[in-house]
Structure 1
Amino acid sequence: MSIVSRATLTASLDELLQPALFKDYGPNGLQVEGCETVGKLVSGVTASRALIDAAIEQGADAILVHHGLFWRGQDGRVTGWMKQRLSRLLAHDINLFAYHLPLDAHPQLGNNAQLALRLGVDVYPDARGRFGEQALGFLGERVVSSAGQLADHVSKQLGRPVTLVAEPDRTVRRVALCTGGAQSYFESAIAAGADVFITGEISEPQAHYARECGVAYIACGHHASERYGAPAVGAHVAAQLGLAHVFIDIDNPA
């Protein structure tokens, strides 16, 4: 395996994910500076203490996540859980890279594209294949007999129960999806002509919209829907640069 500079890894990730194109809720890219050279990259969903500790055990020089440490509007004091996470990263000289919306949006390796791939959704290759704010939502088709059958398929693929708001025998063909906490994209999915919307979470209003608009809604878990982008990007960049790469999935019921 190769060893590359932190700057080289940063440039490769930025070139792939194009963070400058997005208006996001926190900083994308290098969030915590560690050692100057990287030989082993660990990817995960969230920069939790459990992931950081697991990465330390793996001998990681860098961690790549979807959910980083810093978000717009949060308390800026380094106390409690923030101190615990940062102290581990700094003590072991580990670089932390985080990409939020750019990791959702990548057309092949992002969370939405990878979830569509695993669920067998054929995303439209033209402009019809995107919807919603910053074109983060994906739209395509999947041959399925009913909303209930699709919900069962999603549950089986992700290994967890899902919430379906629809008559189970409702016919669906056009599938919209946007991973994580994308409840607010439901109305855009309806406007885009979706028969069913798949996302991580559901809030109270979406159940009413689903019933009143005749569009099925499947909530499959925030973490469960976003387990695929970080390892896909991590594996791609690691192969490109000759780095060792390990994906660590920290279980999360949310």
Structure 2
Amino acid sequence: MNKFYLGILYIVPTPIGNLSDITHRALKTLKDVQIIAVENIKHTSILLKHFNIKNRLFLMNKDNETKQSDNLIKELKKGKNIALVSNAGTPIINDPGNFLIKKCHFFNIKVIPLPGACAAITALSASGIMNNRFCYEGFLPSKKKLRCNLLKSLKEETRTIIFYESKYRIIESIQDIIEQIDKNRYIVIAREITKKWECIHGEKAKLMLEWLKEDRCRYKGEMVIIIDGFKNLKKDHLSQKILETFTTLRNFISLKTSVLVTSKIHNINKNNLYQYAIKNKHDK
């Protein structure tokens, strides 16, 4: 198929609150394309009306994404250019559209991403927490068991952790962070980023819970939770993962080799592990 006749899919970020945050390039793209694929027609219409943009809107949400992606691919094959937007922020991040993009790559249809607003990155930049290494986990699970299992698995994650959370579960989620990670772990809550009631507040987890409970207004709106990464302050601390690796290796190879390999895998001091092995009679 001749690429010359194919349309282009543009990924267009929209403001996460303050309409002034939209870029000139985003506005031009929304005006110039033949179709705008939207997550919610009513929501996007407000944005377009504000900037006096009239265009054809095409609904694609999580319920009809597979079918609508096929329809959009047909339009792209006809040479029509399409802009993909979400309700707010950068599309695809927790929003529908990934299936469409995969199909574009399969059919050699050009995909052009525009830079723009993203709540997670905006909040991280103002958090004061280490930001050179981080992991984004999206929305915390709504069910307590799943949420606790996820938090427990991240207890020794050394990178900064970013979550989204709603006002309906923020208190429960902070309580679970206290129980599953650490009551003294430093966290930041960034609420209503770029909006009138924007608030960025950092505390140890147990103090954050108290702060939130003091005033219900403190947990209204959309929130980003940023958790400081795990810091092993004790040189002789050996995590469960380290001990499991060592024990497994010890069943097959010598003590010296087990200690050496485990220390290399987990980047720890081999002398601490060797002392642990001696104390716990792993030297036999």
TM-score, normalised with respect to structure 1:
0.31
Which protein, 1 or 2, shows the higher relative CO under an 8 Å CA cutoff with sep ≥ 6? 1
**Which structure has more strand as a fraction of its residues?**
1
Query: Larger C-alpha radius of gyration, 1 or 2?
Result: 2
TM-score by length of 2: 0.29
